[in-house]
Amino acid sequence: MKSFMSKVLLFYICLYEGQTMIIDGGIYFIFYGSNSSDYVNTTLNYDFVSLQNTNYFNMSKPTAIFNHGWIYDVHTDIYVALAEAYLSRGDYNYIAIDWSKYSHDINYPELVTSINDQAALIVSILIQMQTAGFNLTTFHFIGHSFGAQIFGRVGYQLIQNYNFTPTRITGLDPAGPMFGNFNEWPTSPIALLYPSLNILNAKFVDIIHTDRYKNSEDYSAGHMDFWPNTGAYQPGCSIFCDTQDYNCLVCSHNRAVKYYTESIQSGSVRKFKSNLCSGLGYDIGLCFGSVASMGFYADKYSANPGNYSLTTNSVSPYSVSNA
């Protein structure tokens, strides 16, 4: 079955390879101040030095940099909540990448075939920031859906072209369609052309899987992979959705963002207690190994990599227990 699906995906990739979307600017880095309504839009060739040690960027703080998904933009409600969670902590700078000029295009295959060009533009902006004195080692890259896959390519290009390895990339239910399972490289043509976010893209990669059978990948690709409720249909989200009910269709897909946001809001409390799995135990949610915290504090448990399982509540607060 996997072989058949790989051939189908390869067919579509070949079909659209000559129709790559032209990336000609229009990607913005938004620096936030005290709240999500207070921000500065920047892009390539901006005077980034002017933002240092202002209300929009404190050089002594670490930075969370977020990348939204396909169809969405930075003003989508779940992303605004994520921004507010970071800003409320007070100990992080917060930057959101706005690539809505391209994400609102419904031609998903063209978007996939242009992913390296999108990543290259983001990398160019990051390198300009580094040249201006910003410390990229303190940047935590967080991407949802297609945004997570873009950050995978960003990490790859930074490593290959600038000998710089990102410290951490967090994938919130990374997009699945047309991306290849890194674990099948180099035997899989799709994994060779468009590999998923994986452990080679940063020093630490953690992934939260919440919609593995519809919108996202269904395989392990990070140093730590978290599978709440087996990584499939999330409590409170309907299995049966009308094809016109978009919110229903992406309910589980978006839970990854909501879980992560809640983990930020917890302050010093490490929510979302998870257990390390043996084999494919995460497929049925029966895991009893080492304890970790899914989300914001996941990197504190990097000494015990692997797949982790947990359950959540159907409504907020979603965390059932603390690590």
> pLDDT digit string (tens) for 56-93?
999 999 999 999 999 999 999 999 999 999 999 999 99
> pLDDT digit string (tens) for 125-158?
999 999 999 999 999 999 999 999 999 999 999 9
CB neighbours of 313 closer than 8 A, spacing ≥ 6? 235, 236, 319, 320
d(CA 2, CA 261): 33
Do the Cβ atoms of 53 and 132 come closer than 8 Å?
A: no
Give me the numbers of helices (H) and strands (E) for the chain, helices first please: 9, 11
Residue that the structure tokens 């269709």 belong to: 249
d(CA 173, CA 199): 15
Q: Parallel, antiparallel, or unpaired: how do β-strands 306-310 and 273-276 relate?
A: antiparallel
Strand order across the beta sheet in which 139-144 lies: 39-42, 28-32, 93-98, 63-67, 139-144, 168-172, 204-208, 224-228, 306-310, 273-276, 291-293
What domains appear along the chain, each with residue ranges and CATH number?
1-201 (3.40.50.1820), 203-323 (3.40.50.1820)
Q: Parallel, antiparallel, or unpaired: how do β-strands 273-276 and 291-293 relate?
A: antiparallel
pTM of the complete model: 0.93
- Tokens describing residue 77: 């409600």
Mean pLDDT of the chain: 92
| pLDDT above 70 (res 5) | no
d(CA 204, CA 221): 11
d(CA 152, CA 160): 12
21 to each of 17, 110, 112, 125, 191, how far by Cα in Å?
Answer: 10, 6, 9, 20, 20
In single-letter form, the type of residue at position 156 comes to: Y
The pLDDT of residue 6: 43
The pLDDT of residue 267: 86
- Of 162, 163, 190, the closest CA to residue 176 belongs to 190
Q: Is 61 exposed, middle or buried (CB count within 10 Å of its CB: 0-12, 13-18, 19+)?
A: middle
| pLDDT above 50 (res 117) | yes
d(CA 142, CA 206): 10
d(CA 14, CA 3): 16
> pLDDT digit string (tens) for 153-195?
999 999 999 999 999 999 999 999 999 887 787 777 777 788 9
More confident residue, 299 or 25: 299
- Of 33, 31, 55, 27, the closest CA to residue 41 belongs to 31
d(CA 311, CA 318): 9
Share of the chain above pLDDT 70, in %: 93
- pLDDT classification of 20: cutoffs 50, 70, 90: low
| Region 10-22 average pLDDT | 53
- Of 7, 315, 1, 19, the closest CA to residue 189 belongs to 7
Do the Cβ atoms of 88 and 32 come closer than 8 Å?
A: no
77-89 helix and 251-265 helix, angle to the nearest 10 degrees:
10
